[in-house]
Amino acid sequence: MYIPLVTRSAYSLLKSTIRIHDYVQNAHELGYTHLGICDVDTVHGLIEFQQACQKVNITPIFGVSLQYTSQVTKEEYQIHAFATNEKSYRELLMLSSYKMTNETWDAQLDLDHLTLIIEEKNEWFDCIAQGQDPNQALIGPAFDSSRLFIGIMPKHNSSKDDVFYSMIQKTTIRPIAVEPLTSLSSQEALTLRVLEAIATGEKLASTTIIEKQAELSASLRSPSEMEQLFNFYPEALENSHYFTKEHYIIPMEQAYLPKYPLEKQTAAQKLKELCDQGMQFRKVHNQKQYEERLAYELDVIHKMGFDDYFLIVWDVMDFAHRKNIVTGAGRGSAAGSLVSYLLRITEVDPIEYRLLFERFLNPERYSMPDIDLDIPDNHREEILLYVKEKYGADYVAQIATFGTMAAKMALRDVGRVFGLSQSEANRWSNALPNRLKITLTQGYQESKAFRDLVDMSERNQLLYQVACAVEGLPRHVSTHAAGVLISDRRLWEIVPLQMGNNSIYLTQWTMYAVEAIGLLKMDFLGLRNLSIIDDTLRGVEYLTGKPFTQEMIPLQDEATYSLFQKGDTAGIFQFESSGIRQVLQKLGPETLEDLAAVNALYRPGPMQMIDTFIARKKGKEEIVYPDPALQPILQPTYGVMVYQEQIMQVASTLAGYTLGQADLLRRAIGKKNRAILETEREHFYQGANKNGISAHTAKVVYEYIERFADYGFNRSHAFAYSIIGYQMAFLKVHYPLAFFKALMQSVQHQPKKVREYANEAKRYHIHLLSPAINSSYTTFSLVNPASIRFGLGGIKGIRRDFVQAVLDERKARGKFTSFDEFLLRMQSTHARFLKEELLRPMIQIGVFDEVVQNRHQAVEELPGRLQNLEFSAGSLELLQMMPLKVTQVEEYTPEECLAFEEEYLGLYLSGHPLDRFDKLRKPFHVESMVDLIEGNYVKILGAIKTSREIRTKKGEKMAFLDMVDQTAELSVTVFPELYRTKRTILEQDGIYLIEGKVERSTFNQQLQLIARKIERAEDLLATFTKESCFLRITHATNDPELLQHLAEVLEQFHGKTPVIMYYEVQKQQKILEERFWINPSTEALTKIKELLGNENVVFN
């Protein structure tokens, strides 16, 4: 019989096209009963391979292909090592781990139990050929011959009597039939060659592409075909039986639970002690409800064997607290645990907020606990290193994940190998719809531009075919954003490892594989928003001179809830999108309960309940409960089922479920298993009947639960994350300077977000200062109670090492007193940075304003100064004496300075071209681009950055405008009818008021505006500034009926003169919408004066 043994899967990165699922399925269909996997150096795919094989009753055979250097011949050889029992399996893991973690790995080879297949070129034969003693070889006569084979391949058929066969006959090595596989189809030779070229960065010549296209690769063939292929060597086929006699299956779902180091106490005793201390700290001791809940949770935790796990999580969080590292309020269902709250793992009181422990840890269903720890992303490495030092390097590892070739990456990689230029590659990428997880096949079906490009030539069709073949293949190994393993056993014995970051090992397996074998994954998620809180708290201390911590933030601050009610939540975690801001404005949240509900409802599915929720909160709709018994459960959410925990409480109250059983019901409904649902339905009806609930009510409630399960949200998670959002909002309200500095610093490499937040900071009357040579640091810094200064690292094109060199020089020798002195000091230590292209932008945006009087003059003199510097011999006096052949020039205009800021900082800092049109905002109800909501009709005020004119199928001209305001960028589509009338007034950098409908682009999923009306802002401003009509509304005329009549008159005589109403009693002034502006004709003025009186109508 023949067994495919030496098969490289796609986990041999960029060396194979074989996807494990396809490999196993094809082998099953061909009739194989045993199947091998043998990737290069690693064993990434073992668990996935075993699971796939077990589904179709195929016996998996685990192997790895490795190169080692002979201590005798000093040459490299490749061996294929296979596991056939538990001992050899452990050796296999160890062997791969040594290779991936140690440069001298082959000095530690342990092959005591592994079965080996060696190749035609091998250490034993070379020792004989070189006259060396083969007994000294690692793999020679001394090796156990019962576990040693030599691979016979189809190519050996043509040389049956050569030296190779002669050598086999002189040794005890047994032959075995082997055909190495890297593809399932014989048509993939070109694809394999392209993968190789991607790995090496090579470009393939057209002739190579054509040759490889015609070449055939080894493929997976049926057992009968392979037996026919190897009929020249029956013994080699017969020896495959060796791998059917003994095999090893990796045990799943074992419990490798970590142990917390203790000497005089048990884990349960230590946990109880810490919880009792937590009762005191949280000030809930001697409260019966808390004591009973604690006793219950500790009992469940102990019975399930998780005492040590909670201690380890506590230990990590305790380290963070001792180091004054900001931590999150919790994440996921862990916030439902009182033990977690008492240990300060979470910051949400589960009793106060009615959170359920069984949603986190169900005593009626054994599953691993899952406590996710949120920590600032800039402190994650510090915490990981602590864990490594505490529990040991061999017991801690981060978890691997794989970056795969998504559609656009596949196109770019294959295009590069095919020799595409950058512009050609961009054309391919831009033709593909910009949608998350889109495939190349979908792109071909949906995009005519992409189809046309593919069909343009045979070369393009071939490029597309190869890109489709590699799409989805793993390309590189990376580190899971959060996952960490801590084990009670040395990880080398149970999971394959590779080198990670900061000397912390990285598993070769993904989180699905490590969890499948029973290892406990913990998530240490670096959260940017916690870094913002952390940075803000430090800023508050810097500004006030007093420490300020998360614990000092009250959860019932009126000003903070006012911010939410106004929807002023730019930069606030979970509440930042324009859509959720609109919901906040409608709802007017007053409590944390309200914020959590918004957090839970504002997502696909439950959005349909938002209007009902708001109407009931506002008293505009009656609150209805399916049964009076459910009122205590649904009252906090106005009768609307919002949370998964409410399902559990309803099932418990109405049908007598335990909370553990209710959690199982929740899970079953979520999985939509019809058989289970029917069983649970009967269970629910029976329980309701026992509780005296009518059959009709039981049916109504159960159907309500089933509908809700499609969109129910985890209440614990909603509260935990709402607390983080609330804390950020509190800091924004009370400490805006420190908050915006931290916020902009967190997005310093995202110019669009910096621009958005900078504009938001200006609304809070915060001054944003340009980078300055003697005041700036790398990033943003607090200057005084009202100002934030930009950092030198935020200037486009300025190297990080140059910025550091400037800061080091300033720290070492003080501030720079002149531009010449700056040049001389930098020349003495970092002369390589003194280049015109680096210094010019810095001058143009004002970095040297402290030492330069005229930016334009300094730029003109720069080439001469740099030339003179070469001859100054380090003398400032000499440098200042040397002449500069430049005439005096005028300073840059304000418009030029703004243009430099936009070019090199990504935003207008000292002003904005749109600022002078601010008068138009209120009367025209202009909305900022960042606040636009899909489906709304709006007016925007913006400048055209670029425009693109095209022709429709009918040959008509239309345009796409890329526009920008102070907050964001927006694409505006101008269809032919409007474009015909406005084409002549549209110009680059022109500023326009555009009215239209906000839609989402089907191409890139970004918001765009479909223009209905376009006006030059300059024209509107000219009209606006000529004359305005002021109407004084006195106490006598402030009558709703009279004002309604006035509105009708204004609309009747509509014109271009703005109307401003002054309310005398309130002393308030209001500019009316543009539709109420008038044409000041005699008839119009007569009617208005009749309503308000002559003295109350004034033109100015």
Distance (Å, whole) CA 359 – CA 363: 10
Paired strand residues for 174 = 149
Q: What is the enclosing helix (H) or strand (E) of 544?
A: helix 528-544
pLDDT tier at 669 (50, 70, 90 boundaries)? confident
pLDDT tier at 108 (50, 70, 90 boundaries)? low
Q: Name residue 710's amino acid.
A: D
Distance (Å, whole) CA 20 – CA 47: 11
Contacts of 730 (CB under 8 A, 6+ apart): 553, 554, 557, 560
| Residue 1 pLDDT > 90 | no
b/e for 161-183, b at 16 or more Cβ within 10 A?
eeebeebbeebebbbbbbbbbbb
Nearest to 904 by CA among 855, 942, 871: 855
- Would you tell me how many other CB atoms lie within 10 Å of the CB of residue 278? 21
Rg, Å, the chain Cα set = 36
Paired strand residues for 1099 = 1029
Pair 124, 134: CB distance under 8 Å: yes
Overall fold of domain 20-184+219-245: TIM Barrel (3.20.20)
Q: Domain spans of the chain?
A: 20-184+219-245, 267-402+479-529, 545-729, 754-905, 915-1021, 1027-1099
pTM score over 0.95: no
- Measured torsion, CA atoms of residues 441, 442, 447, 452, in degrees rounded to the nearest 10: 10
CA distances from 899 to 762, 890, 941, 994 (A): 19, 17, 18, 23
Q: How many CA atoms lie within 13 A of 28 on its CB side?
A: 15
Distance (Å, whole) CA 501 – CA 845: 39
CA distances from 653 to 290, 515, 690, 1078 (A): 21, 35, 12, 64
pLDDT tier at 710 (50, 70, 90 boundaries)? low
Distance (Å, whole) CA 711 – CA 709: 5
CA distances from 649 to 356, 579, 695 (A): 9, 31, 19
pLDDT tier at 441 (50, 70, 90 boundaries)? very high
Helix residue spans in 545-609 (DSSP H): 558-566, 578-587, 592-601
What is the mean predicted confidence (pLDDT) over 890-916?
90
| Residue 414 pLDDT > 90 | yes
Q: How many CA atoms lie within 13 A of 29 on its CB side?
A: 9
Q: What is the pLDDT of residue 262?
A: 93
Where is average pLDDT lowest: 150-159, 195-204, 349-358?
150-159
Distance (Å, whole) CA 844 – CA 795: 11
**Number of residues that this document lists for the chain:** 1100
Is 389 buried (19+), middle (13-18) or exposed (0-12) by CB count in 10 A? exposed
What is the tens place of the pLDDT at every residue in 787-800? 999 999 999 989 89
Reported for 442-446, long-range contacts at CB under 8 A and 24+ positions apart, including other chains, are 443/407
Q: What is the enclosing helix (H) or strand (E) of 717?
A: helix 715-734
Distance (Å, whole) CA 396 – CA 705: 42
Is 573 buried (19+), middle (13-18) or exposed (0-12) by CB count in 10 A? buried
Nearest to 320 by CA among 300, 340, 344: 344
| Residue 875 pLDDT > 80 | no
What is the mean predicted confidence (pLDDT) over 1020-1049?
85
Distance (Å, whole) CA 903 – CA 769: 16
Distance (Å, whole) CA 912 – CA 946: 18
What is the tens place of the pLDDT at every residue in 464-523? 999 999 999 999 999 998 889 998 889 999 999 999 877 899 999 999 999 899 888 888
| 351 CA to centre of own chain | 33
What is the 8-class DSSP label of residue 368?
A: -
Q: What is the pLDDT of residue 561?
A: 97
Q: How many CA atoms lie within 13 A of 619 on its CB side?
A: 0
Please provide the average confidence, as pLDDT, over all residues in the chain.
90
Class of 754-905 in CATH: mainly alpha
Q: What is the pLDDT of residue 160?
A: 53
Pair 113, 85: CB distance under 8 Å: yes
Higher pLDDT, 668 or 718: 718
The answer to whether domain 20-184+219-245 and domain 915-1021 are alike in fold is no
**Residue the block writes with tokens 């200062």:** 769
Dihedral pair phi/psi, residue 959, rounded to 5°? -145, 155
Nearest to 404 by CA among 453, 470, 350, 322: 470
Distance (Å, whole) CA 81 – CA 88: 9
Chosen CATH of 915-1021 out of 2.40.50.140, 2.30.30.30, 1.10.10.10, 3.40.190.10: 2.40.50.140
| Residue 924 pLDDT > 80 | yes
Contacts of 23 (CB under 8 A, 6+ apart): 7, 9, 35, 37, 52, 184, 220
Strand 115-118's sheet: what is its strand order?
34-40, 59-69, 76-83, 115-118, 148-152, 174-177
- What the block records as the tokens of 454 is 């593919």
Strand 497-499 relative to strand 991-1000, pairing: unpaired
**Residue the block writes with tokens 């500019």:** 1071
What is the tens place of the pLDDT at every residue in 113-159? 999 999 988 888 999 888 898 888 888 888 888 899 999 988 877 65
3-class SS of residue 758: helix
What is the mean predicted confidence (pLDDT) over 925-951?
92
What is the tens place of the pLDDT at every residue in 597-631? 999 999 887 888 899 999 999 999 999 888 888 89
What is the 8-class DSSP label of residue 1072?
A: P
CA distances from 574 to 375, 584, 602, 719 (A): 16, 12, 10, 11
What is the tens place of the pLDDT at every residue in 554-583? 999 999 999 999 999 999 999 998 889 999
pLDDT tier at 674 (50, 70, 90 boundaries)? confident
Q: What is the enclosing helix (H) or strand (E) of 363?
A: none
458: left (phi over 0), alpha (psi -120 to 50) or beta: alpha
Strand boundaries in 336-473, DSSP class E: 372-376, 396-404
Contacts of 271 (CB under 8 A, 6+ apart): 298, 301, 307, 310, 311, 339
What is the mean predicted confidence (pLDDT) over 642-665?
88
What is the mean predicted confidence (pLDDT) over 871-894?
76
Q: What is the pLDDT of residue 109?
A: 66
| Residue 900 pLDDT > 80 | yes
Distance (Å, whole) CA 572 – CA 722: 10
| Residue 639 pLDDT > 60 | yes
Nearest to 259 by CA among 315, 308, 306: 308
Distance (Å, whole) CA 338 – CA 357: 8
Q: Name residue 126's amino acid.
A: D
Pair 107, 70: CB distance under 8 Å: no
What is the tens place of the pLDDT at every residue in 994-1016? 999 999 887 777 899 999 999 99
What is the tens place of the pLDDT at every residue in 723-744? 999 999 999 999 999 999 999 9
What is the tens place of the pLDDT at every residue in 1076-1098? 888 888 888 889 998 999 889 88
Nearest to 698 by CA among 637, 633, 653: 653
Pair 27, 57: CB distance under 8 Å: no
Pair 59, 30: CB distance under 8 Å: no
